[in-house]
Structure 1
Amino acid sequence: MRRGRDQTFTVGCYAVCDTPMLRFLSALLIFQTALAAAPPKPKLVVLIVIDQFPNTYLQRFRSEYHGGLDRLLREGAVFTNARYRQTPTVTAAGHSIIGTGAMPAVSGIIGNAWYDRDTRTIVTSVCDPHEKEVGATGWAVNPQVCEDTDPASPRRLLASTVGDELKMASRDSRVVGISFKARSAILPAGHMADGAFWFDARAGSFVSSTFFFPDGKLPAWADQFNRRRLADQYLDRKWANFPKWTFEGKINKYERLMASPWGNELIEKMAEAAVAGEKLGQHAGTDLLSVSFSANDAVGHQTGPDSPEVEDMARRVDVLIGALLTRLETAVGPKNLTVVLTADHGVAPVPAVNVARRMPGGSLRADPGAVIQAALSQRFGEGKWIENAGGGDYYLDHNLIAEKKLERADVERAAADALLDSAAAHPFRVYTRTQLLNGGAGDFIAESMRNGFYARRSADIFVLLEPGWLPVMPAPTQTSHSTPFSYDTHVPVIFWGQGIRRGRFDQEIAVNDIAPTLTTLLEVGRPSGASGRALAEIFSDN
């Protein structure tokens, strides 16, 4: 049988070309092509977090940005629909998610603080009585309490961070976290960080703890920075256009600096000092710097998202981020730098503003705890049914329930039903511990509650108020955040720099996606609890 010309060629090629040597050379060519296509990894990754900065601030104040935010928006990969998918939306939970990609259900960081049943005390996400503060001395530590002013560590964080994975992959990598708040400095940086630094309002300087510096000494560069006493220069400085604001505290001299433009200035200057002092971006491995600007949150709580002070703070942080980007590019070169910008949460409108707009919302004057106490006493008998409460979370007295030979699920359900029947409490949803332990199926709100629940630390009853409703604040201009509603969950996510393709991306993503995206870009291990996906659509081979 005669074969056509093409068939003859094919047979001949198999006979001649299919040799071990040529197969090896072909595989080598493919491997070399893949290597050539892979972008070089950055020498420095910088996480920039703006505390309390909803995505709407990028849109509302866009014309005011001419610095760092402007550059990131023009030159970066901008995700317009990034959201948190857990409740509560608070600083500690947000910063832990940014660093780990893990939900609170996995990381254990269920809030800024929670009730510890073992010690019967409130503990914060990072306070650690086993450590000592480094960089300031003379402060008494009460072992019976665990507060924001106490020594701190990441021991309550149950998951690894991007920084931890970098450190495990390369001994040459350096990881540093900086913020005004301890939790904001520590949680994104992680367990193996070379240093986390936060501001002590009693001392007027940046401090750390013996967890990071067992010898009890700050690095020389940090000590030199503190010796400049920059905080003292800001105490009498006036905030242009806002003359009523003053910044010298009555109890602690520096306690008001966080709620000022100067709080963010101190953070930016400390970040520059860390870049120089730690030689970030100049090591064999990739380094990571986490910088969290806390002052936007402190001002925003006092004035609300529609205030001129908040707008001014947004303009100012744009300038500071621009200065930091310039310093980073000078230190490591633009081709060695990758930056991620996001926020740890948004913020609710001030209730009075919502009312004036004829929007849903208001200030809650009823006490949901009193509703629970009355209902349980009526049904099951007298007793102090609530062991602890805070932020809409209620811890029932398990010993009392056991003494009365009751089932916890029955008591929880009775409390939830009473709340749902109370119009004055404005309940939107009420979830119970048993319900969440059993999966708590439902919509995105139910999912957010499951994602924020960690059995060892979480409460028994969770009350979610109707949208726009907040507990009565100390002042009528004040507001807060913690809900699964868009005003609290919708935040910026922008990637910029080496290995990143610029553009606008309108698809829905989660903030949990940041960590696995970075570890994929850096070719290191995925953080242990990360639940997000790598945003491969932004990777570039430039």
Structure 2
Amino acid sequence: MKKPLLLLFIIFISSFINAQNNSEKPKLVIGVVVDQMRYEYLHRFENHYSENGFKRLMLEGFFAKNTHFSYIPTYTGPGHASVYTGTTPANHGIIANGWYDKFKNESVYCVQDDEVNSIGVNGKAGQMSPHRMLTTSIADQNRLHTQFRGKTFGVSIKDRGAILPAGHTANAAYWFVGGNEGKFITSDFYLDELPKWVTKFNRKTKQYFKNWETLHPIENYIESGSDLNDYEFGFKGKSSATFPYNLKKLKSENDNFDILKPTPFANTMLTDFAEKLIENENLGQDSDTDFLTLSYSSTDYAGHNFGVNAKEIQDMYIRLDQNIADLLNYLDENVGKNNYTLFLTSDHGAVHVPNYLKGKKIPAGYFETEKLQNAVKDFVEDQYKSSKLIEGFSGQHIFFDYDELEDHDVEADDLQEALYYFLLQYDKIDRVYTRDMIENSSSSTAFSRNVANGFHPKRSGDVIYILEPAVISYPPKGSTHGSYMSYDTQAPLLFYGHGIKKGQSYQSYYIKDIAPTLAALLGIAQPNGTTGKVIGEALKK
């Protein structure tokens, strides 16, 4: 009888120890956002990926294969804010990268802050902070939960990609300024001076000026279009947007360090910087969970430059796969293989170049925004004898001047209705929404919900128009984004590491579900504006 009892005791102790280990929180959470990454890139270029990058996340982590953004417009600022706040622009307030501030009568940038100073550079490039984001991020909640012992750092090439994810309480956020500077900077919202390790890193950024050739033979890149085509911008000083690109030779005609932004070498630089940050800030080295938010911006710069079907995009992602593998290996060695949790997603997708689609007999086109704005002014002048009733335009929002409305004895709802019918007749406009429709609607259609989720009552316009599918206000080359069509809203979502259950799901999830899922994993409060839900099937019991 003694042996069975001893065996039961050993099993009990083993189970208890395992339970204790499983209940421990990760030492480090890494959030990876790949700017403008279409979901399909995980599969389209899969045959060229290594076993240690994207495939490692897909095969060993939890892969949510039907994840979307649930608002419009799908831009970088709103995307990063939504990932980390667990809600949509209707609550966190980042309705676009920039918008018209009707209280100040001026256009504002989502992270612009004239009350702070640049650190690491002269001028306004560092005058940035998260003050326009109205809610907390998951990183803020972790700081609050750990009595600010848990650290948070945000890094990106773009300022908004570093600042918004890290939240209001970050130890620091770092972003890259190009031109003749070529350095990572911050603002005195976070620090009084750059740490020595950042200054040291900034001295070596010239090493990333390299010759960009395809990593593998270009003839093997059958998953993308012809290298020579009519749909890409390329670089000044080179007659065609074709490989190879000698960045050292081209940089003087392309604003020096700015030429790095649409190339894979900026991704490598960002990965190297992130690893130096982990080392020098001792992330993941104690019992309080730390956060690192990492946003790869170069994929977006490349998409805008070359379009989503370009050879350059394919090579960009094949090389990014190596960056992800390097980062995972670094984390394994320096934080511990079961000591970190990582998620990877995107801030939006992108549309194929409309001219390319038109050439394949797929409906697509271009929209002249300035022409529409003039037509609106002319219509209002004709109907109400004053074009001043329109105060301004921002994106696809039209703003009224309420003082002028009162002076001309015009009711806002009458002007909304008039513009609604006028815009519906306008070529290439698909749908129109007014402030009254959005604020008073209980519509359950997906399109209406997406518009409402992106509408903030104090920051949005009075009339919003939506373009037809694959119709964009953009030059005739390169890709862009912003719509509520699936090419813009579907995003990859991968969870990996500590506390994550291996598997995949086709269940419908939204980007706003990421933050509450992390809160559940960490056992902390959700961000204060959360409207997402916990993805329970991604977590170990």
**Counterpart of 1:387 in 2: which secondary structure?**
strand
Tell me the residue number matched to 2:164. Answer: 187
Compared with structure 1, are the counterparts of its residues 249 and 418 closer, same or farther at alpha carbon in structure 2 (3 Å cutoff)? farther
Tell me the residue number matched to 1:21. Answer: none
1:48-107 alpha-carbon deviations (Å, 9 max, x no partner): 110000111112111111141111111110010000001011001110011110110000
Residue from 377, 391, 396 that aligns with 2:395: 391
Aligned-residue offset at 1:155: 0.4
Q: How many residues align?
A: 495
**Counterpart of 2:323 in 1: which secondary structure?**
helix
Aligned-residue offset at 1:440: 5.8
Contact 1:109 1:156 in 2 (8 A): yes
One-letter amino acid of the structure 1 residue matched with residue 118 of structure 2: E
**Counterpart of 2:500 in 1: which secondary structure?**
coil
One-letter amino acid of the structure 2 residue matched with residue 533 of structure 1: K
Contact 2:348 2:488 in 1 (8 A): yes
Tell me the residue number matched to 2:225. Answer: none
Structure number with bigger Rg: 1
1:51 aligns with 2:35: yes
Residue from 65, 71, 83 that aligns with 2:68: 83
1:346 aligns with 2:349: yes
RMSD: 2.0
Contact 2:378 2:387 in 1 (8 A): no
Gaps of 5+ in 1: 1-28, 142-148
1:157 aligns with 2:160: no
Distance in 2 (CA, whole Å) between partners of 1:251 and 1:245 is 12
1:256-310 alpha-carbon deviations (Å, 9 max, x no partner): 2211112111111110111101111002200111100000000101121111111
Distance in 2 (CA, whole Å) between partners of 1:164 and 1:132 is 22
**Structure 1 stretch 284-293 or stretch 382-391: which is displaced more?**
382-391
One-letter amino acid of the structure 2 residue matched with residue 341 of structure 1: L
Tell me the residue number matched to 1:281. Answer: 284
One-letter amino acid of the structure 2 residue matched with residue 493 of structure 1: L
Distance in 1 (CA, whole Å) between partners of 2:43 and 2:210 is 33
**Counterpart of 1:248 in 2: which secondary structure?**
helix
**Counterpart of 1:255 in 2: which secondary structure?**
helix
1:65 aligns with 2:49: yes
Gaps of 5+ in 2: 1-12, 215-241
Distance in 1 (CA, whole Å) between partners of 2:403 and 2:178 is 40
One-letter amino acid of the structure 2 residue matched with residue 431 of structure 1: Y
Distance in 1 (CA, whole Å) between partners of 2:18 and 2:260 is 51
Contact 2:119 2:193 in 1 (8 A): yes
Compared with structure 1, are the counterparts of its residues 440 and 128 closer, same or farther at alpha carbon in structure 2 (3 Å cutoff)? farther
Contact 1:394 1:462 in 2 (8 A): yes
1:467-515 alpha-carbon deviations (Å, 9 max, x no partner): 11112x33x2222101111000000000001111111111000011100
One-letter amino acid of the structure 2 residue matched with residue 315 of structure 1: I
One-letter amino acid of the structure 1 residue matched with residue 178 of structure 2: A
One-letter amino acid of the structure 1 residue matched with residue 307 of structure 2: G
Aligned-residue offset at 1:434: 2.1
Distance in 2 (CA, whole Å) between partners of 1:357 and 1:429 is 25
Distance in 2 (CA, whole Å) between partners of 1:334 and 1:380 is 67
Contact 2:210 2:246 in 1 (8 A): no
Distance in 1 (CA, whole Å) between partners of 2:198 and 2:131 is 23
Tell me the residue number matched to 1:298. Answer: 301
Distance in 1 (CA, whole Å) between partners of 2:435 and 2:389 is 15
Tell me the residue number matched to 2:152. Answer: 175
Tell me the residue number matched to 1:333. Answer: 336
Contact 1:80 1:506 in 2 (8 A): yes
Tell me the residue number matched to 1:211. Answer: 189
Calculate percent identity across the aligned residue pairs. 33
1:160-204 alpha-carbon deviations (Å, 9 max, x no partner): 111111110113201110000111001111001111000011421
Contact 2:100 2:106 in 1 (8 A): yes
Contact 2:126 2:186 in 1 (8 A): no
Tell me the residue number matched to 2:102. Answer: 117
Contact 1:236 1:248 in 2 (8 A): no
Distance in 2 (CA, whole Å) between partners of 1:435 and 1:150 is 39
Aligned-residue offset at 1:39: 3.0
Aligned-residue offset at 1:245: 6.9
1:457 aligns with 2:434: no
**Counterpart of 1:119 in 2: which secondary structure?**
coil
Aligned-residue offset at 1:365: 4.0
Distance in 1 (CA, whole Å) between partners of 2:374 and 2:504 is 49
